[in-house]
Amino acid sequence: MTTVGQLVFSGLLIGGIYALMSIGLTLIFGVLRVVNFAHGEFLMLAMYGAWAVTKYLGLNPYYSVVAIVPAMFLFGVLVHRMIVAPALDKPHLVVVFATMGLSILMQNVALMAMSADLLDVPPMLGGRSFSFGPFYAKPELLIGFAVAVACTLALRFMLQATYLGKAIRATVQDGEAAQLMGVPVPRIFLITFAAGSALVGLSACVMMPLFSVFPTVGLNFVLIAFVIVVLGGMGSIEGALLGGICIGIVQSLSSYYIAPAFGQMFFFMLFLLVMIFRPAGLLGRKGEASIGIND
């Protein structure tokens, strides 16, 4: 019993962190209907930033949030202006491949600038972990999970209660009607994309104490993020959290009871099953999968 409990517990925590990493992506997809193929590289960039702030300014990686989140927001503005916005009125594949090109570019600029070394930040609390009865968890995991949940709640609140949130929801429902009602849709797109980028920055600060950074680190996470976004229902923030937790737990249990050699196979199979039986994702709107994207 202890074993299953530990597996589920750890899977839950890491799943929350996967979800945090994917929330930015799902927000961008929900509003702009574009898939940012450079998502993994945004994460890589933010992680390098968090590492640099920790190393050169001596700050705790969690405090580097103060610097990294705004920086990633600005980066998102830049990428949106230069790459995403010009591609929005063109066929969907254009933005896919333009962001793919961006991802290759970023990976290799990072390689040229930082070399292939794995970089880490020193562990908190000397690397010890907390125990809850027979179960263990590192503080970094607990913090990460807490941030993921808090983020989900904060975003939900923002979307329901603030004007910006209403504007975003209106844009998602019907962009033209929203524009007619005075919502500045292009600016909403910009803000959403930049916010998605900022959220990646937040998740990077939380992930830096747990993972090493190197130029191709994005590749380890980007497929997970895509699966979580579609699994949870595109555009659904709670769906992303739920999807992430599912993935974390499935991976944990399948790697233990079947074999770790299969790596990500089981959650891909889970994903396919969900696509067959609930095509819109766990919390997506019914019929969404049949409409796909508006173009």
Partner 1 sequence: MDAAPPIAKRRPQRWRLMPERGTLSLFELALLAICVALVVARPPQYLQDVVIQTFLWAGLALAWNIAGGFAGLISFGHAAFFGLGAYTSTILTVNHGVTPWIGLWIGGALAAVFATLLTLVCARLRGPFFILSTLAAAEVVRIAALNWEKLTGGAEGLAILPTASVANMVFDSKTTYAALMLGYLVIVYAVTKAVEGSRYGYYLFAARDDEDAASAAGVNPLLARTGAMGLSAFLTGIGGSLFAQYFLFLDPTHVLSPELSFQFALLPALGGLGTAIGPVLGSFAITPLSEMLRAYFGGKAAGLHLAIYGGVLVIVMLYFPSGIAGALQRLSKRWRSSNR
Partner 2 sequence: MPHALRWAALAAGAVALLATVVPGAAQESIRIGVLQPMTGPATKNGTENYTAMQIARDMFNERGGINGRKVEFLLADIPTPTAAISETERLTTKEGVKITLGSGVSLLAIPVSQAAERHGVFHWETAGAADIITKRGFKYTFQVGPAAYRYGQAAVDITLDELAPKLGKSPANLRVALLWENRAFGKSVGDSIRAYAKEKNINLVYDEGYDQFLTDMTPIVQRLKDVKPDVLLAISFPNDAILFQRKAKELDFNVGAMVGVSAGYSNPDLRDSIGDMVNGIFVSDFAARVNPKALSPETLKVADEFFKRYDDKMKRPPAGHASSAFSATWALFTEVFPKAKTFEPAELRDIALKLDLPEGSLANGSGIKFTNNDWPVDPKDAGQNLRASIGVWQWQKTGNNQVFPKKLATTEPLMVPLPNWSQR
Binding site for partner 2 (CB under 8 A): 3, 6-7, 10-11, 14, 108, 111, 115-118, 120, 122-123, 127-129, 131, 136-138, 141, 210-212, 214-216, 219-221, 224, 248, 251-256, 259-264
Please answer whether residues 33 and 255 qualify as being in contact, where contact means their C-beta atoms are separated by less than 8 angstroms. no
Options 93, 150, 161, 177; binder of partner 1; rule CB under 8 A = 93
| 57 contributes a contact to partner 1 by CB under 8 A | no
CA angle 45, 209, 199 (to 5 degrees): 45
- What's the closest the beta carbon of residue 112 comes to partner 2, in angstroms? 10
Q: In the complex with partner 1, which residue's Cβ is closer, 94 or 149? A: 94
Secondary structure class of 119 (helix, strand, coil): strand
Q: Is the dihedral of CA 98, 100, 102, 105 positive or negative?
A: negative
With respect to partner 2, which residue has the nearer C-beta, 15 or 30?
15
Tell me the C-alpha distance between 184 and 192, whole Å. 12
* CB-count burial class (<10 Å; 0-12, 13-18, 19+) for 139: middle
CB of residue 72 vs partner 2: minimum separation in angstroms? 21
CB of 290 to partner 1, least distance (A): 6
Residue 29: name its binding partner from partner 2, partner 1, none (Cβ under 5 to 8 Å by kind). Answer: partner 1
Rounded to the nearest angstrom, the gap between the alpha carbon of residue 229 and the centroid of all alpha carbons in its chain is 8
Supply 197's token pair. 């980028």
From the list 4-12, 169-177, 245-253, 269-277, the region that binds partner 1 by CB under 8 A is: 269-277
Q: Which stretch binds partner 1 (CB under 8 A): 134-142, 168-176, 248-256, 265-273?
A: 265-273
How far is 157 from 149, CA to CA, in rounded Å?
A: 12
Residue 291 found at the interface with partner 1 (CB under 8 A):
yes
Name which position in 87, 200, 205, 207 contacts partner 1 (CB under 8 A): 87
Residue 124 tokens read as: 């908190």
Which residue number, 190 or 202, has a Cβ lying nearer to partner 1?
190
Contact call for residue 90 and partner 1 (CB under 8 A): yes
Q: Is 257 in the site for partner 1 (CB under 8 A)?
A: no
Non-local (6+) Cβ contacts of 285 within 8 A are 233
Q: Which helix (H) or strand (E) holds 68?
A: helix 65-79
If one asks whether residue 184 binds partner 1 (CB under 8 A), the answer comes out as no
Among 17, 23, 35, 72, binds partner 1 (CB under 8 A): 35
Does 276 bind partner 1 (CB under 8 A)? Our answer is yes
Task: Tell me how far apart the alpha carbons of residues 148 and 255 are, in angstroms, rounded to a whole number.
Answer: 24
Name every residue whose Cβ is closer than 8 Å to that of residue 52 and which is 6 or more positions away in sequence.
Answer: none
Q: How far apart are the first and last CA of the chain?
A: 50
Measured CA to CA in angstroms, residue 183 lies from 89, 167, 176, 285 at distances of 19, 6, 9, 23
Residue 244, helix vs strand vs coil: helix
Based on the shown chain and the rule CB under 8 A, indicate whether residue 272 belongs to the binding site for partner 1: yes
Q: How far is the CB of 198 from partner 2 (least distance, A)?
A: 23
What residues make contact with partner 1 under the rule CB under 8 A?
29, 35, 83, 86-87, 90-94, 96-98, 100-109, 111-112, 115-116, 215, 223, 226-227, 230, 234, 259, 261-265, 268-269, 271-272, 275-276, 279-281, 289-293
